[in-house]
């Protein structure tokens, strides 16, 4: 496994008394899609801006494909593409000039074929001679992506790529990001849309108040932290939960017709047979049962909930 980006003990103080990032350490593997998930003000843009050399760190070390971003700035920066959170385009330039100029900025030789393919892939080729100001919001976002990819970076940062984007374009962008990953590009995206992280990411990091709260494979994360619920549709309604079942996390719903049992999917699985046996002893019969797993949203809320 190759590490594309390694962040070690990164801290940022904007003011002496305001710590935007505290001792963040993170390793991003080559070719993965990593989603950094966190509420407003968590420090996502700060983290990305430091890696891209826009903001200076107060402390810590960052290496991009083994190049130190401070000691070997140009080489490190060349390998990164950034799609910023805010629109940052020159409104009077044409689409073509924007991407061509950006490529030149990174010292890459002119390659019209590459840029043409890129614009075609982003459905911007027909607009190549249009001024940026004549484009729709969604097209401008796509130009930002084209600009970020103009110098063929290995690592692409997307800071809230789909904020304010309609459903259709969002799907298109997701598909495009996956395609990029399939060509070997490492993708790091920030989002506060949980479904976006759930949909896209191989791994998820959750950041809150400048600290990484958790990093895990998406699947493992959902499995490990997700509580599960067993719902039993009772054959006959019961007036209350019998006291002999008080040790289980049970809830009686639907006027006594439905009993739900919440358990951690790892620890307490083996309690289900015991619960079913106890129900039988109490003469409580059920006609149907099913389990459901909590979503990443529940996990996220339980980790950062009440933080603001």
Residues that bind ligand ATP (CB under 6 A): 14, 20, 38, 40-46, 85, 192
Q: At what angle do helices 167-182 and 137-149 cross, to 10 degrees?
A: 10
Of 127 and 170, CB closest to Mg ion: 170
Q: How many of the chain's residues bind Mg ion (CB under 5 A)? A: 3
Of 20 and 204, CB closest to ligand ATP: 20
Of 5 and 158, CB closest to Mg ion: 158
240 binds, among ligand ATP, Mg ion, none (CB under 5 to 8 A by kind): none
Residue 133 DSSP one-character state: G
78 binds, among Mg ion, ligand ATP, none (CB under 5 to 8 A by kind): none
Q: Applying CB under 5 A, does 186 fall inside the site for Mg ion?
A: no
Of 153 and 161, CB closest to Mg ion: 161
Residue number with the shortest CB distance to Mg ion? 45
Q: What are phi and psi of 154, to 5 degrees?
A: -85, -25
- Residue 172 beta carbon to ligand ATP: minimum distance, rounded to whole angstroms: 22
Cα 61 to Cα 75: distance, rounded to the nearest angstrom: 16
Of 57 and 226, CB closest to Mg ion: 57
Contact pattern for Mg ion over residues 67 through 106, marking x by CB under 5 A = ------------------x---------------------
70 binds, among Mg ion, ligand ATP, none (CB under 5 to 8 A by kind): none
Q: Applying CB under 5 A, does 45 fall inside the site for Mg ion?
A: yes
Of 46 and 231, CB closest to ligand ATP: 46
Task: Please list, in sequence order, all residues whose beta carbon lies within 8 angstroms of the beta carbon of residue 16, skipping any fewer than 6 positions away.
Answer: none
118 binds, among Mg ion, ligand ATP, none (CB under 5 to 8 A by kind): none
Stretch that binds Mg ion, among 41-49, 53-61, 72-80, 276-284 (CB under 5 A): 41-49
- Residue 189 beta carbon to ligand ATP: minimum distance, rounded to whole angstroms: 12
Residue 256 DSSP one-character state: G
192 binds, among ligand ATP, Mg ion, none (CB under 5 to 8 A by kind): ligand ATP
- Residue 52 beta carbon to Mg ion: minimum distance, rounded to whole angstroms: 13
Q: What angle do CA 231, 204, 28 make, to 5 degrees?
A: 155
Site for Mg ion in 118-147 (CB under 5 A): none
Q: Which two tokens stand for residue 238?
A: 């019961």
Q: How far is CA 84 from the centre of its chain?
A: 15
Of 87 and 274, CB closest to Mg ion: 87
Of 109 and 164, CB closest to ligand ATP: 164
Q: How is 217-250 classified by DSSP, letter by letter?
A: EHHHHHHHH-EEEEEEEESS--SS--GGGTTS-E
- Residue 11 beta carbon to ligand ATP: minimum distance, rounded to whole angstroms: 12
Cα 112 to Cα 126: distance, rounded to the nearest angstrom: 15
Q: Where are the beta strands (DSSP E) in the chain?
A: 3-15, 18-29, 33-37, 59-64, 67-68, 80-83, 155-159, 186-191, 203-208, 211-217, 227-234, 250-253, 258-264, 286-293
Q: Applying CB under 5 A, does 49 fall inside the site for Mg ion?
A: no
Please classify residue 31 by burial: count the beta carbons closer than 10 Å to its beta carbon, then call 0-12 exposed, 13-18 middle and 19+ buried: middle
Q: 9-25 burial, b if ≥16 CB within 10 A, otherwise e?
A: ebbbeeeeeebbbbebe
């Amino acid at each position: 496994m190759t590490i594309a980006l390694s962040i070690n003990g990164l801290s940022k103080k904007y003011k002496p008394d305001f710590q935007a990032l505290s001792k963040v350490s993170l390793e991003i593997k080559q070719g993965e899609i990593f989603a950094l998930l966190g509420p407003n003000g968590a420090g996502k843009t700060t983290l990305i801006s430091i890696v891209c050399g826009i903001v200076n760190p107060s402390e810590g070390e960052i290496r991009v494909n083994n190049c130190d971003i401070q000691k070997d700035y140009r080489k490190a920066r060349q390998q990164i593409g950034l799609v910023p959170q805010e629109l940052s385009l020159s409104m009077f330039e044409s689409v073509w000039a924007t991407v061509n100029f950006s490529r030149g900025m990174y010292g890459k030789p002119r390659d019209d074929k590459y840029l043409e393919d890129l614009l075609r892939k982003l459905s911007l080729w027909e607009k190549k001679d249009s001024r940026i100001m004549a484009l729709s919001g969604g097209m401008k976002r796509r130009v930002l992506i084209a600009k970020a990819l103009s110098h063929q970076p290995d690592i692409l940062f997307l800071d809230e790529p789909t904020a304010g984007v309609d459903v259709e374009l969002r799907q298109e962008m997701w598909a495009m990001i996956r395609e990029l990953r399939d060509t070997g590009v490492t993708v790091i995206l920030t989002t506060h849309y949980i479904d976006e992280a759930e949909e896209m990411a191989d791994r998820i990091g959750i950041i809150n108040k400048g600290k990484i709260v958790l990093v895990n494979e998406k699947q493992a994360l959902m499995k490990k932290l997700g509580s599960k619920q067993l719902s039993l549709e009772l054959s006959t309604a019961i007036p209350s939960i019998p006291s002999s079942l008080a040790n289980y996390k049970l809830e009686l719903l639907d006027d006594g017709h439905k009993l739900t049992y919440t358990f951690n999917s790892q620890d307490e699985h083996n309690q289900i047979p015991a619960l079913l046996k106890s129900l039988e002893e109490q003469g409580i019969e059920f006609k149907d049962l099913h389990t459901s797993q909590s979503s990443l949203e529940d996990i996220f809320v339980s980790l950062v909930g009440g933080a603001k």
